[in-house]
Amino acid sequence: MSFHFKHAAAAALVAALAAPLGFAPVARAADVSLLNVSYDPTRELYQQFNKAFAETYKAETGKTIEIKASHGGSGKQARSVIDGLEADVVTLALAYDIDAIADKGFLAADWQKRLPDNSSPYTSTIVFLVRKGNPKGIKDWNDLVKPGVQVITPNPKTSGGARWNYLAAWAYALKHNGGDEAKAKAFVGSLFKNVPVLDTGARGSTVTFTERGVGDVLLAWENEAFLSKKEFGDDKFDIVIPSLSILAEPPVAIVDKNVDRKGTRAAAEAYLKALYTKAGQKIAAENFYRPRDPEIAKEYEKVFPKIDLVTIDDPAFGGWRKAQKTHFSDGGVFDQIYAN
């Protein structure tokens, strides 16, 4: 009766052999191919921008271009590029993550001076997303440390947005305690005691809050907060603007080592420059990133509320390298407060 077995074995063998032949990775159809390694919430922004850029590029150069995208927590994405993910451009959540890639020799140390506005074609900030009607009455950062309030934020170790969240809370605590760092540490510590889950990226946290219904308040990128309202409807969530927040500058850069090996520098430069054009700025604004271009900013000024913003170069932080070392390195302030 062994023919049963032979049939089965033959079928399995045919399947095993046919699959790689029939489904071998398809040859590139486009003339040029770029890989944009980005952070978590930019998915919709770059889906739209990549399509628009490909059309302009074709019109201007006659060549077809294909933009591949990878999204995840900003720190994790930087790690992947360091480990060999062949990004032509990186568009991450904060400058330190690109510094970390530069430290390994993938791009020039002065990368942030190569494009206008600190190489950040759009900005954002951190706001609160609460359930409709704000049942817990959350108005400002000090409401987040109250007992019984569940706060959702991703993990500052892996997520860029979470690091902005953390630093905005820190800035608020310093301001209201006369610059006392010990008190700021206690404040941020009690805030993180109210966090039931730490996702690795901003989008994971947003889904935890919106779709899974966990928590009372989401510390979110302004663009994530707007997108959640758009996806789920205005009747589900409210955006709360705190008295103080932080100016988040998500930077973009060409990864020199990768574009030089692949011969894609010209296309990568055109890609990043397009982010600064009127059309690029408009796409950013439509996806709820604050445009840099004054004209487009004016056009969308009703969308974005005016907020009192501190910057990462504020003496309290002293730039990303110092802030990263003090707060998020191994054994840094975040490790100290989260271990307790």
Partner 1 sequence: MSVSPIRDEPTPVKWAIVALAVIFIGLFILLPLINVFAQAFVKGWEAYALALVEPDALAAVRLTLLVTALSVTANTAMGLVMAWAITKFAFRGKSFLITLIDLPFSVSPVVAGLVFVLLFGAQGYFGPWLIDNGWKIIFSWPGITLATVFVTFPFVARELIPLMQEQGTNEEEAAVTLGAGGWRVFTRVTLPNIKWALLYGVLLCNARAMGEFGAVSVVSGHVRGETNTIPLQVEILYNEYQFQASFAVASLLAVLAIVTLVAKTVLEARLNARGRGH
Sequence-ordered list of residues with C-beta below 8 angstroms from that of 65, at least 6 positions apart, any chain: 30, 31, 32, 33, 34, 53, 54, 57, 58, 267
Euclidean distance between CA atoms 305 and 287, whole angstroms = 15
Angle at 303 between CA 232 and CA 41, to 5 degrees: 50
Q: Contact positions toward partner 1, by CB under 8 A?
A: 2, 5, 8-9, 12, 15-17, 19-20, 23-25, 35, 40, 43-44, 68-72, 80, 82-86, 104, 203-204, 207, 211, 231, 261
What is the nearest approach in angstroms of partner 1 to the Cβ of residue 294? 32
Give whichever of 17 and 109 is closer to partner 1, judged by the CB atom: 17
Tokens 């108005």 appear where? 139
Q: Edge to edge, what strands does the sheet with 126-131 contain?
A: 151-152, 217-221, 126-131, 237-240
Closest to partner 1 by CB, 89 vs 168, is: 89
Spell out a b/e string for 16-28, using b for 16 or more CB atoms within 10 Å of the CB, else e. eeeeeeeeeeeee
- Angle ∠(334,307,210) on CA atoms, nearest 5: 60
Min. distance of Cβ 148 from partner 1 in angstroms? Answer: 29
Q: C-beta of 237: minimal distance to partner 1 in Å?
A: 13
Helix (H) or strand (E) holding 239: strand 237-240
Q: Which is nearer to partner 1, 261 or 273 (CB)?
A: 261
Amino acid (1-letter code) at residue 137: G
Q: How far is the CB of 40 from partner 1 (least distance, A)?
A: 8
Q: How far is the CB of 80 from partner 1 (least distance, A)?
A: 6
Which of 238, 248, 154, 250 lies closest to 204 in space, CA to CA? Answer: 154
Give the tokens for residue 127: 């706001």
CA distance 203 to 73: 8
Query: What does the alpha-carbon distance between residue 47 and residue 97 come to, in Å, rounded to a whole number?
Result: 22
> Three-state DSSP class for 211?
coil
**Least separation in angstroms between CB 8 and partner 1:** 6
The three-state secondary structure class of 224 is: helix
Q: Return the number of the residue (2 or 340) whose C-beta is nearest partner 1.
A: 2
Least spacing, CB of residue 46 vs partner 1, in Å: 10
| Closer by beta carbon to partner 1, 228 or else 324 | 228
Distance of closest approach, residue 236 Cβ to partner 1, in angstroms: 12
